[in-house]
Structure 1
Amino acid sequence: MKNHVTAKKMILLAAAAALFTACSPVESSDAVNSHSTVSVPASSTAEEVQNTQTRYRLVSSADGIFYGGRAQVEDGFYDLVYTKNVLSAAQNIVYTDFPSRHRVYLSSDVGSDHQSEDDTSYIPTAVGGATVFADDEYVYVLKKGSLLLQKASEQDAKSCIYRLNPNGSDRIALELSFDRVINSASGVFADGDALVLLVDSVDKDTSLHPELVRADFSSRRITTLMDLSETGLNLQNASLVNSFGDKLVLSSSKIGENGTLVRELYTLDPAKKAIVPLASFDTAEQYVFYRDDAIYYIESSENALYQFDPSSRESTLLLDEIAPPELEFDSVQAGFPAPEPYLEFFFTKGESSVTYYWNSATGQWHQKLLMDGDRPVTIYRIWQDYFLVKLQDKMVTYQDFTQNGQAYENQMAVAEYALIRQEDYWNGVPDYIRFTDDVYGNQG
């Protein structure tokens, strides 16, 4: 696991003693067994030699920024909750601290109502949705934006990228122009003091085309690196899914000759504005999926699991048969992107299905046993000897106000997370360690 935010910073956060500054919006400008049955073009040319000056790092989840992953730091995690003025659709950044078992607003003002931009935890209304993630140094919030609702929502419909310190201070906001929205199915990558991501830009005929942009927090500008519509390729459902050195990996889809969906991967070199075919996966033969910094696929004819390395263009066999001991099944698919070293798989037989985790380090299989109400309890992150899991939503009561200022009690469903010892999880023992919730209170 990477070394993230230091424990000292988290203690300062929990104590709400850090110095915070207000938001300052900025105008944007515009190995082992080598085997492969996927279609792989010839080896890379001299122009594709890695430039060691740039190393793109995935900071969001690999299969889309709105998946909700990659927000954990060393001793906790960040997420977004709607403010208690639910109708405003504004949100707050919340930090959950593992050692203290507390869930708090990312704010030093404990007396605040946390419902205005004076509070560092506050994120204005995010039409189109928002997500939060973190890397070694910063916390990021991305507001997707909406092209359809610009007239009705105006500023709220603009895409926006926030960067802030782990304690919420020194926030920088970079806004995209109204004719661009963040691609919510694509990964986001860090490049020095900037983020690199895909946006969908509006053509004159109102159709959309993908662009690769760089959000630079030093210059406080968003600039276009590549217009992917100018590549001459018919890129459908384009998304960034991986990186190696100074190259990005782009995924696209098309309908193949046999009528099945084909996933095509390309090497994308922003510095040279070059895009080169990398590999092709026919979904009738391979089931491809992404987790964190890796590309995997299931070879259907073999029921085998492979990992594809975009740098070497080779596939490595990880598991020659995806099958828990003595389990009978008709089909298998990858499931929730579980934390390393685990992979989750759904096994189906007839109309019934079961879920197992496979530990890639030990080769052990574990069946998912726990349910909370109607919700399967899924592993989100690992911390020491514990798993972070998400339980069924809890209903909370809070004081709200009518438009004329009259107070009344309101209710809403909010996510509930918990820690559980790894041995209890594998044995199906629901001994959850719940967090003290300073945001909505410990209500049932």
Structure 2
Amino acid sequence: METAPTNSNIPAKLDENQNSIGLKLVTPVDSSGVGAGNEIGYYDLLYRGMGANILYTDYATKQCVYLSSQVSSTHQDETDLSWIPSVDGGIEPFLSGDKLYMRVIGMPGDSDGSGTPGKIMEMNLDGSERRDLFTLQSGETFTQNAIASNGTYFFCLINRVQAGDAIWNKSLIKIDAKTGQSETIYDFDLPVYIVGAFDDILVLKTIEIPSLEELFNSETSSQTIASQVHTLYTFAINTSSLQQVKKWKQIELSGACQDNTFCYLNFEDLSVYRLDISTGDTQKVCDGFPACDPEHTNLLGFFDSHLQFEVMDLSNIQPDGSGVERYQYAVDLDKGEIIAQTLFIQESEDTMPSVYHIMAETEDYFLVHYATTTKVVESIVSDGTIGTEQISLAKNALIKKSDYWSNINNIIPISDENL
């Protein structure tokens, strides 16, 4: 973290070999609003006007800048490397090898071909040599956020619908990372989602709702949600074989995958377990996480061999929605301990405080979101004129992992004065 600044804040290439044969997720399971980071920096998006800017946080200089070498640019046209003109459906950045990618979700149109097709854009880490690597065809949309890669191919799920057909089918496709050519691997008749990857295995999950009618009934919706059935599968890419791993009701447990491990909170005995997906072996990590309502317990993710989760206490909720308490914890999977987390931020008087959110990590540091600020910027609007708008900017900082888990607020703020 104390490396001297280079001639430019914008990286040219990351010197690491990520072209391994094993599959791994290159996006989070749910990456909505999340950027992408590596050992030297972090990429994020700033939406404004008719598009978005790619922002780059340089860990060495502790600065957040536009991914552009044009200092005097308005950063709002295609001559600027940081600018993405179309943001239909949203954009999700991710990293693989020494390339930066942007998945543009797009907007599905009618059968007449209207709409904006989703695509995956590829560029160098400094934003140069941008190209559309892959574009969806008519009747296709991206299903959910997780993408896996083995360095040669990307694997993701897409929805396909035929003209006049109201039923969407989920297809697993692989995309050549060099040519962008795609091939269908498997068509599923299950509503599957990618939740993990390791070796040649994709970890998939389905969620079955017992009754849609009861789900949309205010008197029965809570019970119906609690009765949702989750099933975890492995899908072997080389043999196209699908195998069930574990099945449970939402009221029973809540878990998440990392590599070949499925870690979960068991609400029946208030213990944390670790399931080896490869072997099926289950091991208890620790006892005694706080008693809580499964419906109001959310997993926040795996970081540095810790599983984070939050608990919402609605016992004192008022008619206006106030009175809700939020508690956040982390399970140290190596030590078998549960840590109460107290590094909280509160965005406004109307929102509940939340723990410093981990945006990215290096070997020794986390990049965390610790506050939010607003700024008035110039933006080009639909008629081509320049107006102003107020945007929200995340205030990020670096913090040592050991300090974060010990609730020590030794943050190193990231400067955004150049935005």
Normalising by structure 1, what TM-score?
0.75
Question: C-alpha displacement at 1:265, in angstroms?
Answer: 1.8
8 A Cα contact 1:160 1:176, kept in partner: yes
Question: C-alpha displacement at 1:283, in angstroms?
Answer: 1.9
8 A Cα contact 2:25 2:146, kept in partner: yes
Alignment of 1:49-88 (within 5 A): 54-61=21-28, 63-66=29-32, 68=34, 71-83=36-48, 86=49, 88=50
SS of match in other structure, 2:301: coil
| Corresponding residue for residue 320 of structure 2 | none
Aligned-partner Cα distance in 1 for 2:367–2:11: 26
Q: 1:433 pairs with 403, 412, 419, which one? A: 412
Query: Does 2:196 align with 1:242?
Result: yes
Query: Does 2:286 align with 1:313?
Result: no
Deviations, residues 333-382 of structure 1 (Å, cap 9, x unaligned)? 34322522222233455343421223223335232242244342424144
Question: C-alpha displacement at 1:196, in angstroms?
Answer: 0.6
Aligned-partner Cα distance in 2 for 1:276–1:75: 38
| Corresponding residue for residue 268 of structure 1 | 235
Question: C-alpha displacement at 1:423, in angstroms?
Answer: 6.8
Aligned-partner Cα distance in 2 for 1:410–1:367: 36
Query: Does 2:167 align with 1:207?
Result: yes
Question: C-alpha displacement at 1:409, in angstroms?
Answer: 4.2
| Cα separation, partners in 2 of 1:57 and 1:345, compared to 1, 3 Å | closer
Question: C-alpha displacement at 1:142, in angstroms?
Answer: 0.6
Deviations, residues 32-87 of structure 1 (Å, cap 9, x unaligned)? xxxxxxxxxxxxxxxxxxxxx952111111x2343626x1110221111114xx1x
Aligned-partner Cα distance in 2 for 1:150–1:339: 43
Alignment of 1:128-207 (within 5 A): 128-148=89-109, 154=115, 157-173=116-132, 174-184=134-144, 186-204=145-163, 205-207=165-167
Aligned-partner Cα distance in 1 for 2:383–2:208: 54
- RMSD, aligned CA: 3.3
| Cα separation, partners in 2 of 1:254 and 1:405, compared to 1, 3 Å | closer
The range that moved more, 366-375 or 337-346, is: 366-375
Question: C-alpha displacement at 1:255, in angstroms?
Answer: 4.0
Question: C-alpha displacement at 1:266, in angstroms?
Answer: 2.0
Q: 1:357 pairs with 330, 333, 341, which one? A: 330
| Cα separation, partners in 2 of 1:112 and 1:320, compared to 1, 3 Å | same
Aligned-partner Cα distance in 2 for 1:376–1:18: 35
Aligned-partner Cα distance in 1 for 2:410–2:246: 45
| Cα separation, partners in 2 of 1:286 and 1:429, compared to 1, 3 Å | closer
8 A Cα contact 1:58 1:293, kept in partner: no
8 A Cα contact 1:377 1:389, kept in partner: no
Normalising by structure 2, what TM-score?
0.79
| Corresponding residue for residue 17 of structure 2 | none
8 A Cα contact 1:13 1:167, kept in partner: no
8 A Cα contact 1:334 1:343, kept in partner: no
| Cα separation, partners in 2 of 1:396 and 1:172, compared to 1, 3 Å | same
| Corresponding residue for residue 41 of structure 1 | none
| Corresponding residue for residue 356 of structure 2 | 378
| Corresponding residue for residue 368 of structure 2 | 389
8 A Cα contact 2:43 2:54, kept in partner: yes
SS of match in other structure, 1:437: coil
Q: Which AA in structure 1 matches 2:40? A: D
Question: C-alpha displacement at 1:96, in angstroms?
Answer: 0.2
SS of match in other structure, 2:60: coil
Aligned-partner Cα distance in 1 for 2:47–2:303: 26
Aligned-partner Cα distance in 1 for 2:83–2:112: 24
Segments of 5+ residues of structure 1 without an aligned counterpart are 1-6, 20-52, 230-234, 324-328
| Cα separation, partners in 2 of 1:218 and 1:425, compared to 1, 3 Å | closer
| Corresponding residue for residue 412 of structure 1 | 391
Alignment: residue pair count:
379
| Cα separation, partners in 2 of 1:11 and 1:168, compared to 1, 3 Å | farther
8 A Cα contact 1:56 1:247, kept in partner: yes
SS of match in other structure, 2:269: coil
Segments of 5+ residues of structure 2 without an aligned counterpart are 14-19, 212-222, 317-324
| Cα separation, partners in 2 of 1:191 and 1:18, compared to 1, 3 Å | closer
| Corresponding residue for residue 346 of structure 1 | 310
Question: C-alpha displacement at 1:162, in angstroms?
Answer: 1.6
SS of match in other structure, 2:80: coil
8 A Cα contact 1:394 1:416, kept in partner: yes
| Corresponding residue for residue 3 of structure 1 | none
| Corresponding residue for residue 30 of structure 1 | none
Question: C-alpha displacement at 1:17, in angstroms?
Answer: 8.4
8 A Cα contact 1:370 1:425, kept in partner: no
Q: 1:279 pairs with 221, 240, 246, which one? A: 246
8 A Cα contact 1:17 1:108, kept in partner: no
Question: C-alpha displacement at 1:241, in angstroms?
Answer: 1.0
Query: Does 2:328 align with 1:367?
Result: no
8 A Cα contact 2:198 2:260, kept in partner: no
* % identical equivalent positions: 24
